[in-house]
Amino acid sequence: MPSSKRERGLHELYREDPERAQALVFGRRSFLAGISAVLGAEVVFGRFMPAGLIPAALAESTEPFLIPGKDPGLVVLNDRPLNAETPPHLLDDPVTPADRLFVRNNGIPPLAVDASQWALTIGGESAKSVRRYTLADLKQRFKTHSYQLTLECGGNGRSEFNPPARGNQWTTGAVGCPRWTGVRLRDVLKDVGVKDDAVYIGYYGADTHLSGDPSKVVISRGVPIAKAMQKQSLIAWAINGEDMPIHNGHPLRLVFGGWPASTSGKWLTRISVRDREHDGPKMGGYSYRVPCEPVVPGAEVPEQDMCIIESMPVKSLVTYPRSGLVHRAGQDLELRGHAWAGDHSVSDVDISIDFGQTWRPARVRKPVNRLAWQQWSMKIEFPHKGYYEVWARATDSSGIMQPMVVPGWNPRGYLNNATHRIAVKVV
């Protein structure tokens, strides 16, 4: 749906306020680490770089700020750390290209990664042993699997909540469904040994806290042991057959399809098998939690009344045509997009061109595997010339349907699954 945020270029930001632009793009407290992450290499003499200077590697670009290795169409949210979403029309592929997968960072990614030296340690109070695996160990000792898995930020759609919620003001583009390759987490956990009292797993990554303090953990979330043991839960090293981009977790990450992307830890170095609900940073308080019962917008909700987000809600996206299309009268318009529903599948997608008064069924394809999004398509004709909105509404396999308006308010603006709509002008 429409957003008031405007995409701005790097030069425009620097013209307005060089020091503020530098902070927005590269980070306030750890500029050198932030700029190195963006450029993909250490700035060797960075301590001598004048304040407010645009790096030459980026200065010639007249386009909005670009992330190396990512499609130039991604929209960088003017926030810290680096976060970027993908406009719906760039998500039209059935399998999301790696360069079009959104970026959601909580800290600063590790630099100069040597995958051959990377190692994952698994232990914890509910593990029967502590074991260390290199990437080569994982590839040689366990069977490799590939699944197309939907990954969506829990805050996708946050920009529509009112009163506004704190955090990155995502519109619709913090989602993707590439093909992930790795080993099943459960196979590795069985090799370590899991005690009967295991309740949760928690992850730790190699990203650096925004403060630059190496002793601070950026984020450490996890999932219940039952989710960890599902066959689609992966320790992954590749996207679509290639090394994943650094901002998406290279060289190793977890992937839990259908759950908030924050559970799928990036730059994975350690997994702890817990005998209790994991209690790492961003597991407690209001992080990735919503009120257990509906609340009035703007209400103060006690922490004890907040519940952890698990399976994501049913949702859909119109990926073709792009919003704002001018269409010739008397011709059918082809529509297509994706729909997904957390741990469930999608049973129906319906389309409206009269602001939800009537709905027409679209053709919905089966998922290529469990937890993959599903493609939908249809052709539609418009009765008269003029302005229209195309609305898409999905229903999941348990009968739950997307709301037509923004759903129940929550303090952090999570789980907005309102119907997606695009504008079409018929002439």
**Beta-ladder partners of 377:** 336, 363
Q: Is residue 103 part of a domain?
A: no
The first and second tokens of residue 248, run together, are 């998406």
Domain containing residue 303: 115-308
Q: What is the pLDDT of residue 54?
A: 56
Q: What is the pLDDT of residue 230?
A: 98
- Find the range with the poorest average confidence among 22-26, 103-107, 303-307: 22-26
Q: How far is CA 34 from the centre of its chain?
A: 20
Q: Angle at which helices 18-26 and 31-39 pack, to 10 degrees? A: 60
Integer Cα distance of 204 and 266 in angstroms: 8
Look at residues 165, 174, 175, 157 and name the one whose alpha carbon lies nearest to residue 3. 157
Same domain, 266 and 350: no
What is the pLDDT confidence band of residue 333, given thresholds at 50, 70 and 90?
Answer: very high
Q: What is the pLDDT of residue 77?
A: 86
What is the pLDDT confidence band of residue 29, given thresholds at 50, 70 and 90?
Answer: very low
119-150 in b/e form (b: 16+ CB < 10 A) is: ebebbbebbeeeeebebebbeeebeebebbbb
Q: Is the pLDDT of residue 40 over 90?
A: no
More confident residue, 201 or 14: 201
Q: What is the pLDDT of residue 8?
A: 46
Q: Examine the fold and report which residue of 287, 308, 329 is the final residue of a domain before the chain moves on.
A: 308
Q: Is residue 72 part of a domain?
A: no
More confident residue, 78 or 418: 418
Q: Which residue has the tokens 């929550």?
A: 410
Same domain, 298 and 328: no
Same domain, 298 and 178: yes
Q: What is the pLDDT of residue 11?
A: 47
Same domain, 299 and 185: yes
What is the pLDDT confidence band of residue 112, given thresholds at 50, 70 and 90?
Answer: confident
Mean pLDDT calculated for residue range 164-188: 96
